[in-house]
Structure 1
Amino acid sequence: MKEEAWVHGLMGLVASDRPRRGASPMGRSDHWTEALALLEAKRRVAVITGFYVLEAKAAETDGPGGALVLARALERDGKRAIVVTDSLCFDVVAAGAAALGDGPPLLCVDEPGEIWSWDPDLLLYVERPGRCRDGTFRNMRGRDISSVTAPLDGAALEAPLRGVSLLSIGDGGNEAGMASFLEGLSATRPEFAPSLCCVPADVALAVDVSNWGAYALGALLSCRRGIWLGHDPDEEERLLRALVAAGAVDGVSGLPEPSVDGFPLEVQCELVAELQSLWRTFTSSPEEKGAS
């Protein structure tokens, strides 16, 4: 019951349909427990991110932060993790890793086959474009972004043949691994149908903002471990400002500002603080553990 309360608390923070896209209400609590089970069962996790905004000619602020913080949490939990992105997004992701100080290692690839050189047993996509039914990559406005999108979702198509598991975090339905929401979103938001991804994952988490989903999954892992594996609001501000300084833009506004999907910096920092507070609610402090 305690873990169920954790999950519902997390979903209330990161999957309440604040952007009104309609994806996050389709998520279920068992998706989170299944995602946690996948993370705990694997030892080498490739976290794949990077969404290039064609109009702004820049990577967006959503994705890199979540990927870096979650990968670092996995490393703090004793696993091997690497953050993978393409050459168009690499400078932004690298700037975020430098801002964290002890960020995870990075891998820059433009072909999906190159991901296998690291020999992962789990692919974890965080805000990474996934191909549509017509084979193109599209943003949520329906614009074809194939010319600026390396087909890294191709690794997801090959993963079942290699016995590698797939986990996806997305907020709109056009991200790699989000195919389980395709039919539901096509029915409720038909204007999004041409953009929706047809590439499936073993587990997909639909959230309000992809970064938030990655942060929440790290918080859930922290609740299971009894120690905080994530980051704090100061790190969130430093991380987001570093992404923008490296050229990243808000994916909704297209502007080089420290915001994510239209939510300003203050909201991002508040969300991180709320996740930490939720963790403290369900986990004894180190002092309490020492006294027991």
Structure 2
Amino acid sequence: MFFSRGLRSLLPLSVRSLIQFNKLNISNTSGTAMGYKQAKVVILHKSLADDFEKFCHANNGPLPLLYRSKPGEWKCPSLSSNSDIRTDCLEYNIYEYGASTGTLRSLKDYSDQLKNMVTFYLGCSFSFEKAVHKVGVPLRNAEQKCNISMYKTSVPCFRVARFSCNLVVAMRPIPEDKLEAVVEATYPLKDSHGAPVHLGDPGLLGIQNLSNPDYGDPVQPQSGNVPVFWACGVTGLEAVSNCKSPLAFTLSPECTFFTNLKNEDATVHYSKEIPKIHFISQNPVHYSIASATAVQKIRDLESLIAIDPGDRGVKHLCCQDELLKACLSLSHAKSVLITTGFPTHFNHEPPEENDGPPGAIAMAAMLQSLEKDVVIVTDQRAMSLNKKIIEDAVQKGILKTPVPVLSYQGGDAESALMFLCEDGTLERPRFNHLIAIERAGMAVDGNYYNARKVNIKHLVDPIDELFLAAHTIPGITTTGIGDGGNELGMGKVKEAVRRHIKNGDVIACDVKADFTIAAGVSNWGGYAVACALYILNTCEIHDRYLRKAVGLPRLSKKAAWASALPSIIKEEKLLKTLIQHGVRSGLTASLEMEVDGLPFYNIHSVMIEKLLAKTLQ
């Protein structure tokens, strides 16, 4: 018998010969003939072949198609010479009407049936092990002399005719400091599933227990390892089972077919194709991926909005990549709560200022276009005003559909929990992300102050409680957008506010958000979020990661997303609407075309132009 020593350096022809003569003493093919492409195999009746090929193309992350045979063709000349699919694999599964009815060492006894069957050769992640090893990433399953772990997920594949199933993923524990290396190494290898589809908590894929894989063996992570998941060709087994054809064959999950094709070291030729990872959540642990080009564009947006025309010291509140990480998190969210409202003009009715609502509506418009659920939460006394503003925004074409307006008057942590979670159950949050933009934030003494140190607590409902409660609820992330440090969520930079912002020692918000976006004007932060979401969702690398590499790219929706971007015309209409409702400029209390004492034309309009130019370039 041939034992595992030296398996890495074997040539594919030698491996196939050893298998044919039953001289390969291994239970799985991981780590064998490294550097050569390996393939999963599905064999179906020819009447199903066209639909299965379409299914592969529609879900090419888990099912990258290397070769489709002709009916009765046992060889695959483009992949290997002198091969015979009936005998060249360690173990085969047989399916009858969807049920797995046994395993076989050879398919020769089914030669007559195979004359009317088509063989599909599908890429496998075993193929990229050499590339991963080359960049210094340990292969834990090889170290532990076991197979990789494979899991069924709750992610549905795109259905084609009779073929439907949920995605199956393969997990490898990767050291945290090697995450970017493993993503960059595997991304170009599209025939071997390419880049991972998820980095972080398995629960986000519907996987409950990593120690109990559906296929393969449990692989023990080491301290500091992050579970990283790739789309897996075992998805094909699930599709075959669900199809319930009278007869079908696959390889056993642990086994592959060895091709003669080298998995040549691939290089990324264009910077826009370099994937970059970013940590976006601690509870649950979650990383996201976007292209280097998309990341740089969003960093440029962040620099643009940090311009401080009022010379208030905003630059001291800026933290790099907060816009990027907030928007990556928002891109993954299904339901978003936005809160705004700063009643700085306590001697006027309404007391609200016009910085905040335009930015909130700009974000809501983009989130709506991305098919996310959005609500706006504001003070009870301002409900009627905000509903009228939303109605006008819909009539003027700024919003596609109305955004529900809610209030929260709470009073304690239990009230906040009931508001944020169905039946107050931590495992059932109603929202994935909370955003505060130019929302009055509670200071350390429990009061709420405007920039002039005037206490306006009597006008402010305790929406801060929602942000405080969110920190205790897995799956809810928070973002604060502000321009003076007294806004909800700016507690993350409160020490900088105290040192660098006028009256900061009194007015600084004490409630922090996970991400803090500082801008010269808060509305600009809202515009930048809308633009960054557009950039991310038109990024092919990020789109694939969102889809988990199943289904078709969503770029056909690009025009609809572009129409949701803020524009000078939209923001001009909205500012005029606010003036009609008596909502004033923050600094001057003027009912003119200005925000925070800065004229709309030549200041705000120019900022919008610059943000759009960077977004659409």
Whether the TM-score (by the shorter chain) exceeds 0.5 is yes
Q: CA deviation at 1:87?
A: 2.9
Q: Does the alignment pair 1:210 with 2:210?
A: no
SS of equivalent to 2:608 = helix
Contact 1:59 1:92 (C-alpha < 8 Å) held by counterparts = no
Contact 2:484 2:501 (C-alpha < 8 Å) held by counterparts = no
Paired residue type of 1:30: D
Q: CA deviation at 1:19?
A: 1.7
Q: Does the alignment pair 1:223 with 2:535?
A: yes
> For the residues of structure 2 that align with 1:271 and 1:88, how far apart are their CA atoms?
32
Contact 1:16 1:25 (C-alpha < 8 Å) held by counterparts = no
> For the residues of structure 1 that align with 2:592 and 2:383, how far apart are their CA atoms?
19
> For the residues of structure 2 that align with 1:170 and 1:215, how far apart are their CA atoms?
13
* CA deviation profile, 1:252-283 (whole Å, cap 9, x unmatched): 101222311111121222322222211121xx
Match of 1:121 in 2: 432
SS of equivalent to 1:84 = strand
Q: Does the alignment pair 1:107 with 2:405?
A: yes
Match of 2:614 in 1: 278
Q: CA deviation at 1:110?
A: 4.2
Match of 1:65 in 2: 358
Paired residue type of 2:353: E
Flag the structure with larger Rg.
2
Q: CA deviation at 1:192?
A: 1.9
Contact 1:50 1:86 (C-alpha < 8 Å) held by counterparts = yes
CA RMSD of superposed structures (Å): 1.9
1:1-292 matches, within 5 Å, as 1-52=292-343, 53-57=345-349, 58-101=351-394, 102-112=400-410, 113=415, 115-116=419-420, 119-163=430-474, 164-189=476-501, 191-226=503-538, 227=558, 228=562, 229-266=564-601, 267-281=603-617
Contact 2:353 2:585 (C-alpha < 8 Å) held by counterparts = yes
Inter-CA distance 188–265: structure 2 relative to 1 (3 Å threshold): closer
> For the residues of structure 1 that align with 2:435 and 2:514, how far apart are their CA atoms?
10
More helix by share: 1
More off after superposition, 37-46 vs 114-123: 114-123
Match of 1:284 in 2: none
Q: CA deviation at 1:104?
A: 4.1
Contact 2:312 2:502 (C-alpha < 8 Å) held by counterparts = no
Q: CA deviation at 1:66?
A: 0.7
More strand by share: 2
> For the residues of structure 2 that align with 1:190 and 1:64, how far apart are their CA atoms?
24
Q: CA deviation at 1:230?
A: 1.5
More off after superposition, 181-190 vs 86-95: 86-95
* CA deviation profile, 1:52-87 (whole Å, cap 9, x unmatched): 121333211011111111011011012111112113
SS of equivalent to 1:161 = coil
Match of 2:106 in 1: none
SS of equivalent to 1:82 = strand
> For the residues of structure 1 that align with 2:501 and 2:574, how far apart are their CA atoms?
33
Contact 2:437 2:480 (C-alpha < 8 Å) held by counterparts = yes
Unmatched tracts of structure 2, length 5 or more = 1-291, 395-399, 423-429, 539-557
Paired residue type of 1:108: L
> For the residues of structure 2 that align with 1:95 and 1:263, how far apart are their CA atoms?
25
Paired residue type of 2:420: W
Paired residue type of 1:255: S
> For the residues of structure 2 that align with 1:192 and 1:255, how far apart are their CA atoms?
25
Contact 2:354 2:575 (C-alpha < 8 Å) held by counterparts = yes
SS of equivalent to 2:450 = coil
Identical columns (%):
27
Inter-CA distance 109–215: structure 2 relative to 1 (3 Å threshold): same
Contact 2:441 2:486 (C-alpha < 8 Å) held by counterparts = yes
SS of equivalent to 1:12 = helix
Q: CA deviation at 1:246?
A: 0.8
> For the residues of structure 1 that align with 2:615 and 2:468, how far apart are their CA atoms?
35
Contact 1:176 1:199 (C-alpha < 8 Å) held by counterparts = yes
Inter-CA distance 255–93: structure 2 relative to 1 (3 Å threshold): same
Q: How many residues align?
A: 281
More off after superposition, 188-197 vs 60-69: 188-197
SS of equivalent to 1:29 = coil
Q: CA deviation at 1:154?
A: 1.3
Please, what TM-score do these two structures have when normalized by structure 2?
0.44
> For the residues of structure 2 that align with 1:116 and 1:247, how far apart are their CA atoms?
32
More off after superposition, 235-244 vs 220-229: 220-229
More off after superposition, 78-87 vs 115-124: 115-124
Q: CA deviation at 1:188?
A: 2.4
SS of equivalent to 1:216 = helix
Paired residue type of 1:261: D
Bigger RCO of structures 1 and 2 (CA < 8 A, at least 6 apart)? 1
